[in-house]
Structure 1
């Protein structure tokens, strides 16, 4: 194994849910057929696309691993040797063929047809454990989002097996404080944010798991009463170096993000990922896509809620979000980036609601992220952890944080990728924002 992946499929892989999810969305809400929706993607994969600057950087960083797998080298490297450069047109003909099959035969071809059969054959070839039953039994679920109210706005996230409620827990912990008086980028605000994150992530490490398999006290964890209890552990003068998970039961028994709002104010907040860049970095050459490795986020601790079990979904980091006000949607957004996602959700929302920034300013402002919390895979917390700060955070602020016991370091990259649409109902205007740190785009109509 290396630091990012195991060398065999069985340890990290799980069937992808994307294809079934696309079809469910199309059948319930779509105004076009699945084939019509997939045609642009098919054309892009077959005819090619110019590689953008940020993507070329990440592609280059994966070059060595992609060379190790013949299918990945054939699919993702120029002449099976190198990653495409910025501006080069790159084609994915086998992926286009897979999309074409889904367009013509529906999602069943991925879970019960020729694509599933090829995935199982390839898995057998490389020593994996996929069976056709793994794909046949896969389903896409319609679930109810959960919310908390922050400054009069209802913030909606998905419940576990994802980490969306971590953002809600953080907001509940932050709300009692006069954040606007602290000021954006201040030591007080960054300290409060970091301490709230530690508390939410301690619960994330212990409790977040597949709701269909284990009881997760979601409503208790996102309650204001529980936040009041947990918030007592925040000391505004000192960084907390020991953050145990709470006991909410005592209160009561490679990621991409897209958001679209149409003329009728129907809103879609969508995120999907193959976990690490290029997933497992193992690619069935006939299919043209790398097999995702989201199974890496299971715990191997038999006593852990997120332990590896049959027909169980692993903990996920991907979390789309939506905000409503007086029953109307006002903000659809997401922040790509693993553990940064709930941290990004909170920073963006606080920038808008407390610091009164517009939808683009909220994303442009320098961010921080805290590393070192316990994880749903079973890793223990590392003392106070590390607060990474972006360019734009003042040196004086860093010194104040260090005096409170934080370990602080400047960093480039890793602060997420944000996209958002704010709905101005009064003026009938949509305001889009895109991430300057990534290759995103905001497009009006």
Structure 2
């Protein structure tokens, strides 16, 4: 598109507002403290306005900016409680909503992808989008049955024009600003998150890849009593048509679900996370709550398969072996394995006992039959690792994350973050034992 350079410059300018605005508000806050303002009240006001601006800018820009915001929403539970509320409200909005594109643009993209007569494939097509996301928006429609097949209610996801360049431009700019953006998300490591998003963004731009991923998941979970994956009806590089599914948003369960509802949702999400690599050879790699719903029949509805980790042999055995050694309190064997697998580089002075302490967030939930995941627990883990005075902070700086494990690590952390948002009791030990039994074998 001829106006992409101009639009890119505008996007860059808007992104630049975020750290500058945060810095200005922080300076003003210090000024008010000097004249007697309450520290906590002023900090809360600053974070409230920063969160509102974060949502306004990232939601408006879509692309990589919104993708970044969605990734942050997964880790919202780790944000200190005094800052959490405004970020919680603002980031949750990014999970399923963004300003829509005009239907004339939708029609043009569909004509490019399915031909000028694309409309004849449908009995009905709702011009108002049902949902908007980072690189595309979804419309409800009725797909015309052919050869005696019945008509079907479908979801039509259409990619925004110029989404590819917007995604690349946003993530380049966010990467440059990662240090300045850090105050917008206290307790989180921004730079590695942006780097990982940049590495996997290309696979999300071709909806044919997403369709192939979704077909694989749908086949593996066909008829499953716990998980439902909508089937793919048609696909093209920038448009995908799937079965329409609807249920209660996971964000709504997080906000006002009963304890039983939250426990059920958390158990289904954990089961899906640990079972998919073994059943499909793939791991759903976008675990923010906007991609999950609870169906009326009690199943977990899962959508958006643009980002996956390819694990043909299931979850990496090295990670399972590390978990087993940590659970069995075998520090010397643990540190030896971590050095062999590249998690600890040669000549790095990390002891087995330090490795055991650092891995606590991954092993603690497996040491009991039922574990309560909540924000308080995750915040304590984030503080332990992020506090400059903590031994685990210095230990963490000595660890290395091999590239082949990067995505699995982030998705597992993200899933734990959602479980903590649900404030749920989960029998995680039994779930992991079902799909990685060797961890608990003698």
Normalised by the size of structure 2, how large is the TM-score?
0.24
Structure showing greater relative contact order (alpha-carbon pairs closer than 8 Å, 6 or more residues apart): 1
Normalised by the size of structure 1, how large is the TM-score?
0.24
